[in-house]
Structure 1
């Protein structure tokens, strides 16, 4: 067992929505993620909510238990994983607090979204990002900010159409119910609501000042998250990297850079002030020690990571022949010349011949001082 803080997890997976279209892979994803935690962290304390268990009320209570659980000490790792539908809903004109620019707010969708309940037959809504952020801020105040939020769902659908390939199913509800009065009351009673979303952050689930947790999201704010062959593309790719990596050296940024998804328009995101920490470990911040694969083609050296993965122009990469040789002397050092959304073109420092660079190759980002 590795030298990590104790791990506590809340895992939510929903296929069988009570009102809306079902999914086929969210529960399988949740089960697979739970298995991964049990394989790597034998002492994990895991709460799992699947299908009918994953009501809005049960999800709320599970967040509250994480905040109040005396077994969780400050700094222990807390992982919250959600696989299911996401959606967007308009913010009421009567709400006088913070509003997004387009007056639409993102949400995760519990299993009972759209059900009419209680004597008043009130429609149960989704759980808006602002509500999730407030809940997470509450956990962080009590238990510290070693919190990871993983979302395998669509966060918005307004600018997208469904994929024409019917084998790929988007995880989204197009027209969810309006935001509930309960959520407006939660927002109004929280003294930090005005800070719960930070200007310029593309995903609203990041939370107050980006400090309460690290967010790993299946796609960008105006993209769709897909499932195929009864599994989510993001969770499958995420677990592939986690299982193949030395978690003692893997940062959140490195993790998301190495997730591979066979869809051009689904780009995983990593957000949060502490995204350069080692995964699930608040006490360790290290450089990017994991390797990113690349290849040569059409006279170019291509790195399989780009702008959405945090690659910057003029970044330097040490080049290795294979993934097991990172401890040896690198073959050479290359520099980023041009950046695309999901790939980057590299060049030699002195524009010399790059025939010695193998294909495929493996690259590790290094600081300029090490050159």
Structure 2
């Protein structure tokens, strides 16, 4: 009995090994491991379809590769080819076999001529075609789009409390939503033809599916649409934008406190999502998220503590001002103080009659309150005379000192 079991196990192991060996024999020279900026040209034999597999080995996770991007660019004359994805050549070949013998025949397989690969994982792309094409592995050390996602995510998270209360932001979001969801107006009128509410909900759900589908088509073919149907796109955006603005103006900006909190939390969530997808290094991206949340909730006194310690340790030197700056500062501060005095005396807080009893010259005070100078002509003349006398005395002393130095 044991001999029979051992024979069966050996037979199954033999079949498994033969399948592995046969898979390697089938793949053979069809697997190509591409290096940085390497270009591979494929030319089929006798115009027959052939599967070629292009692989990227991946690299260790280092912080210097935080914003790196790996793009596999396919230069094909048309879209007459099939694409298969997988982590290893064996997975790609198995997917190719499964789709080849399925009834769909790869009808719904996705294709892209610019494929973003994970820089830290092994990735393989299989291409089946009977025409000439080339494949290039492009390495971008610092992807500006990832930097833009990082900065945008941080700005969204930090400015969410301000944006959620901003009226202009409410109008921009409302108009944008109206432009994107204008298909729902047509779906709404169509739903009126159906008497049952259950069916109407299904139609509305299908309407959102249609909206998402058209948005995806628009994003995939944005250059072609803008070049061929530019006028239609502009008029569509203009008309739907005006209608959306009218609705937003009619209902006004958001004022409910809870709704504002929901907008703020959604903006912060959007910022964290952008921050997470700004890098393929998931551990570092999560570290950035934790650091951002920690810094934004850090007490203000903790933030100011290093600055205050630096000022105590290295106090700034006082800057001396010149005579002209001193004179200008005195004129400016005096005018400011006199203006505040006029405002106080004109306010209900001041009892004008009690103030008038304490003054020696009520007419002069009334003239000052009407905007005239607080100094009389005699006081101004006396001040200028005293200043001239001080200047004359200083000049005479300087002349005397100079004469003594010359005599010595």
Shorter-chain TM band: under 0.3
- What is the TM-score with the length of structure 2 in the denominator? 0.17
Q: Which has the higher contact order (CA 8 A, sep 6+)?
A: 2
Higher strand fraction (1 or 2): 1
- What is the TM-score with the length of structure 1 in the denominator? 0.18
Structure with higher Rg: it is 2
